[in-house]
A and B are shown apart, each in its own frame.
Chain A
Amino acid sequence: MTPVDTLNTAWMVWDSLAPAVKGAVLQYTKELEKFLAEIERRAFRMAQVALRDPDDALDVVQDAMLKLTRNYASKPSTEWRPLFYRILENGIRDLQRRRTVRKRVMTWLPGAKEDPDNEAQDPLDNVADAAPAIPEMLMQAQAMQQLEDSLRALPARQREAFMLRNFEGMDVAETANAMACSEGSVKTHYSRAVHALREKLGEVW
């Protein structure tokens, strides 16, 4: 085989490889988008339960999406969910830490009023909803609000275990992976969370 033939063969191999590689990347991008679309609303609500503020919740969800796609997209798709929730929980914890620091600084400042939630009120929160207020829906919203308040009062790990197991429907192994702890710890956290929530919300809830 002459050098020119060798070169021709090499170019043919390269030309046939490039579309295949691009096709594979397109495929995993589609899978990733499907995964994020499937998970994003629940993730947002979980972040909102932990942080209360919807804009903060949106920020941590967006950050988690970016980190997952930038750093872990090449991982098998079965690992995306626990990885995503681990990133999300880290983001939530970071934000809560920053809030605590800000709160302490604010109390040192002379004349500064301490905001118990340390968050600016969104004017839109006070605007009445245009949707008709159906009593059943109102009751459900009220019950969910009670549940959210009770979840916020739980220790972070218990809240995390409860939301991943109950809201997200993860099994013990997957939850342990997302929380970076043992399966035994997940069971303990979850059981304590259910017990504490029952005590707080009572039977009538």
Chain B
Amino acid sequence: MNELRRDPFEERSRALFQDSVENLDMRIRSRLTQARSAAIAAAAGRRPWFLSLTTWAPAAGVTAAAVLGVALWLGSPLGHQTATLAVAQTNLEDLDLVASSDEGAGDAMEMMQDDLDFYEFAASAANPDSAA
């Protein structure tokens, strides 16, 4: 950054400038410090986008409370009833799949067969004594 200066004219002008900077009076120095503090305060006031997320904390809290409410409601008997209905519907769909005789159903049966193999393997791995 600071390149070598050989020219005496350039050296002298730079030295004079540095002297004038070092001999600045206290009034100017003080005003510069104030200006710097004001600029830093402005920078601290204007937070970057990622910090501004913290300003959303109250809204995030409300959202979290809403989500929690839904979760608790799903866990309640009323919610459970809905969940039970959903499970029943899924079971019916599975039954349809198994009972149907079209081409896709054959694939589905194969998948279930694979799963059964896997469950057998998992059971034997968990209880090696019983497998033997």
Contact = CB atoms under 8 A, between A and B. Distances in A.
B32 A7 contact: no
Interface stretch (B14-22, B89-97, B100-108, B123-131): B14-22
A85 interface: no
Contact of A194 (B2, B9, B29, B47): B9
B54 interface: yes
Contacts of B5: 166
A14 B13 CA distance: 55
B17 A33 contact: no
Interface stretch (B35-43, B80-88, B113-121): B35-43
B74 interface: yes
A109 interface: no
Contacts of B38: 62, 65-66
Given A7-B68, A73-B43, A140 B16 contact: yes
Contacts of A181: none
Summarize A's interface: helix, strand, loop or mixed: helix
Contacts of B59: none
B6 interface: no
B48 interface: yes
Interface in A11-25: 11, 14, 18, 21-22, 25
Contacts of B40: 29, 32-33, 36, 69
B44 interface: yes
Nearest to A46: B17
A89 interface: no
Give chain A's interface residue range (CB within 8 Å of chain B).
35 or more
Contacts of B39: 36, 62, 65-66, 68-69
A20 to B, nearest CB: 10
A29 B43 contact: yes
Contacts of A18: 54
Interface string A23-52: 001000100110011001110110000000
Contact of B1 (A37, A166, A171): A171
Contacts of A69: 39-40, 42-43, 46
A40 B64 contact: no
Given A22-B51, A36-B39, A69-B40, A197 B9 contact: yes
Given A65-B39, A66-B39, 7 more contacts: A4-B68, A42-B17, A58-B35, A65-B36, A70-B43, A171-B1, A194-B10
Interface of A: 2-4, 7, 10-11, 14, 18, 21-22, 25, 29, 32-33, 36-37, 40-42, 44-45, 54, 58, 61-62, 65-66, 68-70, 73-74, 140-141, 143-144, 147, 166-167, 169-171, 174, 194, 197-198, 205
9 contacts: A4-B68, A7-B67, A41-B21, A44-B24, A45-B24, A65-B35, A143-B12, A147-B13, A198-B9
